[in-house]
């Protein structure tokens, strides 16, 4: 093998390595895009869940107020009935 053949082999190996590196970089970029998309979906899911929890909490607070009002009304009506 002469110097020209050796140089050609080195050049071919460098080109192959460069192609492999480019392929790895592209695969990594795609994985990162998928990872970012999943993270964004999770954030949307978390935001949605937070909104739902706030709505449930508000409904629960209203229910507690209604229940407290009903108990006060029942108590007052009970006292009126006892006074008669």
The rounded radius of gyration (Å) of the Cα atoms in the chain is 36
User: Rounded distance, CA 17 to CA 49, Å?
Assistant: 47
Question: Is the pTM for the entire model greater than 0.85?
Answer: no
Q: What is the pLDDT of residue 61?
A: 96
> What are the tokens at 83?
């006074």
| Three-state DSSP state, 61 | helix
Chain-centre distance of CA 62, in angstroms? Answer: 29
Alpha helix stretches (DSSP H) within 1-84: 3-83
> What are the tokens at 52?
């739902």
Q: What is the pLDDT of residue 23?
A: 98
Low-confidence ranges of the chain (pLDDT < 50): none
Q: What is the pLDDT of residue 82?
A: 58
């Amino acid at each position: 093998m002469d110097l020209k053949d050796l140089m050609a082999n080195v050049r071919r190996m460098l080109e192959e390595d460069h192609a492999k590196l480019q392929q790895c970089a592209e695969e990594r970029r795609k994985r990162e895009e998928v990872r970012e998309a999943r993270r964004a979906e999770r954030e949307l899911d978390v935001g949605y869940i937070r909104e739902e929890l706030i709505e449930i909490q508000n409904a629960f607070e209203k229910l507690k107020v209604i229940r407290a009002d009903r108990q006060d009304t029942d108590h007052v009506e009970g006292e009126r009935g006892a006074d008669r």
